[in-house]
Amino acid sequence: MNVRRLSVVVLAFAAVLLVVWWQAQKDRAQGVAETQPASAPASAPVETQPATAPASAPAAPAAASPSVTSAEEPAPSPASAPAEAASGVAPWLEEVQRRTEWYAIGGLELASEGKKDFLFQLDVSTRGAAVDTLKLANFFETVDDKRLAHKTEEYARARREQPDKYLGNYSLLNPVRHEGRDYLPMASQRLVVRDSSGKTLWEGDLSRKDWCLGERKAAENEQSVTLYWSLYRDVPAGASLVAAAPFRFLTVRKTYTVRRNDYTVRLSLEVENHSSAPVSVELVQYGAAGVPRENIKEDMRHLAYGYVRSSDKSVQVMLKARAELDKWKLGEPRKLGGSDDAEPVVWLGETNQFFGAMMHLAPPAEGETPAPAVWFQAAAARESPTSSIFLPMATMPAMALKAGQSARIDFDVFAGPKDRDVFVNDAFPYFREDYRRLNYVSTINVGSCFCAADWLVLGLMWLLQVFAKVALGNYGVAIIILVLLVRVVLHPLTKRGQVSMSKMQKLQPAMQKLKEKYADDKDTLNREMMKFYKEQGATPLLGCLPMFLQMPIWIALWTALRASVGLRHAAFLPFWLTDLAAPDQVFSWGRPLPLIGSSLHLLPILVAISMYLQSKLNPQMAGQAPAATEDQARQQKMMRIMMPIMMLVIFYDMPSGLNLYIMTSTFGGVLEQYVIRRHIEAREAEAASRETTIALPGRAPRDNRPKKPKGPFRFMKS
């Protein structure tokens, strides 16, 4: 019995020794024992690991990792590591965290113009020192979120109880999922280190590594967080992190800074050479990616970049529609331009219908070393089987660093609404001079219709903002005020047109005689008709002119509604028309129907009915000239039926704000027509009252006397 117990004890002791020996071998293979840096929190342990990214194997397949081409000469492969490790030296080690952590800077409290608040919250991830998400404080995913957001406690409870209905603040920057891998915005990706002869010393993908926390700052008006990644060379086996400090070879630092009342993120990227020899560093930095699709029916995302035109040094903006991605090869980046080109590219970003994220290469401060050259590129990433998205990136192709030297590049990233006031209005609280200089206002996609110029679209957007302030923020009332303004401006033309159309109605018998007289000579008929119109003071085109003048306004307003972020989730009534930038919805159903879709829009139906009533009651108001023949009358009757149907089809999926404008304008036209008709009748009555009839003595003039009958019945009395 004692022998059995002794055997158990011996076996247990042998097992403990085996575990201890295995752990010692593991620590020896790692090269440096795990330790905790003074700047890192207790929840984020730091370790130094062997670098495992040989250049002989690409950083990632081209289709899965959009990046620049791999190095021409391969880095040392792990096959040489055992020989060096035998002498107690680790060839390459890197300082990383054991797991991913997130750090939030900024805030999501509702910001107000008279108060200094953060306009967004930036969630920074240690994975690739990237941005996990950027959420805007004053914008939300749904109308329900916006309506309840000011009630803090009630909104928080609603989000917990109904997460499918209340989705929270609008997330402008998000991870891009491509081929089973997430690409995070602002992540640092491929790093290549070469010696003075051009030989590749090390290369790897930093976006897959968890960087270390360096420093966090929280001042009164700004907050920042710094992450770093370090590379060590020839570290003695078993050395601690402090003892390994003299063997530090290279450090990359990234600092994110956000300020109150500012839509800009300052990204500072610094690379420091700790070695005693010069090196050349290449680094790929992802841009502001993951801008979501805003419009459900149409993908209005664009790749946007600005370049300095050599002729006048102004910044010109190029917009590439998402449809162009069909021509791009997945994962293969395209160079858009460099910061040292003849016409240098100075910023690159991505926009959707209402928001934008643009990364600008900030110029160095006075006295600082000029920043290295930067290539701006973009690649296509497939976010779903049926949709692709742009993946913007900035590449620092060659940063030459002497021994102990560092190089820093600063980027300013605008992330917010594409609001004209933000970009050009000096008095606006969120305006910055850089926004106007970089021509960010051109990212507002106002279309390219020949009859709706850009200045007209931007002018309508400005008027809507002004009227909305007068209407205490109600853009529906602002649209109605705009209708009244347009009607007042066009009233003189409308009045002249109606007077002209009234004259033409009275001239129809004489016109018919001209047509009968010159039925076989069209040229002479046209000349005689124009001469007759001129003599009588009638202009046929005046009746249609007011409608033609309103068409550019309708198109410009449609464009303004599609591009004005102020109308996003803007309500006219609390129970109906709660989003003037989208079609109204009375109720919805599951399976879409032809031409109707999956929801009933009431406002375009009311627009069609109002147009039919207007054309039936007042044909001239609808732009129809008086019918001269029965065929013309039948055609006009058919048009009175077909036009409302066509308008219903065209405007059924249009924003409710545009339909509200058209319906209000239609009813306003009916009222205006009634006033003009009363004015014309009053003038005709006044003119008739001035005419007097004088009965002269004697026989009536020959022309007015009835003719005597001739023939055998001339003696019969009539």
Q: What is the pLDDT of residues 220-255, one digit of tens each?
A: 899 999 999 999 998 888 777 777 888 999 999 999
The pLDDT confidence band at residue 714, using thresholds 50, 70 and 90, is very low
Query: Which residues make Cβ contacts (< 8 Å) with residue 494, sequence separation at least 6?
Result: 487, 546, 672, 676
**pLDDT band, very low/low/confident/very high, at 652 (cuts 50, 70, 90):** confident
**Would you state the pLDDT for residue 678?**
83
Q: Do the bridges between strand 264-273 and strand 248-259 make them parallel or antiparallel, or are there none, so unpaired?
A: antiparallel
Q: Torsion-angle region of residue 343: left (phi > 0), alpha (psi -120 to 50) or beta?
A: beta
Predicted pLDDT at 67: 29
Q: How many other C-beta atoms are found inside a 10 Å radius of the C-beta of residue 707? A: 7
pLDDT in tens, 492-549: 877 777 777 777 777 777 777 777 777 777 788 778 777 777 776 666 665 566 667 7
HEC readout, 151-213: CHHHHHHHHHHCCCCCCCEEEEECCEEECCEEECCCCEEEEEEEECCCCEEEEEEHHHCECEE
What pLDDT is attached to residue 35? 31
Looking at residue 373, its pLDDT comes to: 87
pLDDT at 194 (0 to 100): 94
**Residues 6 or more apart whose Cβ sits within 8 Å of residue 286:** 130, 183, 184, 185, 186, 187, 188, 189, 207, 391, 392, 393
Q: Counting runs of H as helices and runs of E as strands, what totals does the chain give?
A: 14, 25
718 pLDDT exceeds 60? Answer: no
Span 683-707, pLDDT tens digits:
878 877 876 555 556 555 555 555 5
Instruction: Decide: pTM greater than 0.85.
Output: no
Mean pLDDT of the chain: 79
3-state secondary structure of 292: coil
Q: What is the Rg, in whole angstroms, of the alpha carbon atoms belonging to the chain? A: 38
Mean per-residue pLDDT for 52-81?
Answer: 32
What is d(CA 282, CA 603) in angstroms, rounded to the nearest whole number?
57
For the stretch 184-205, pLDDT in tens is 999 999 999 999 999 999 999 9
Phi/psi of residue 549, nearest 5 degrees: -70, -30
439 falls in which pLDDT band (50, 70, 90)?
A: very high
Question: What average pLDDT score do residues 382-400 get?
Answer: 87
Which range, of 33-42, 386-395, 507-516, 689-698, averages the lowest pLDDT?
33-42
Query: Percentage of the chain surpassing pLDDT 70?
Result: 78
> What pLDDT does 697 receive?
60
More confident residue, 24 or 122: 122
Pull the structure tokens for residue 564: 């004005």
pLDDT digits (tens, 9 = 90+) for 86-143: 446 778 898 998 899 999 999 999 877 667 899 999 999 999 999 999 999 999 999 9
- Which pLDDT does position 279 carry in this prediction? 95
Q: How confident is the model at residue 655 (pLDDT cuts 50, 70, 90)?
A: confident
For residue 145, name the pLDDT band (cuts at 50, 70, 90): very high
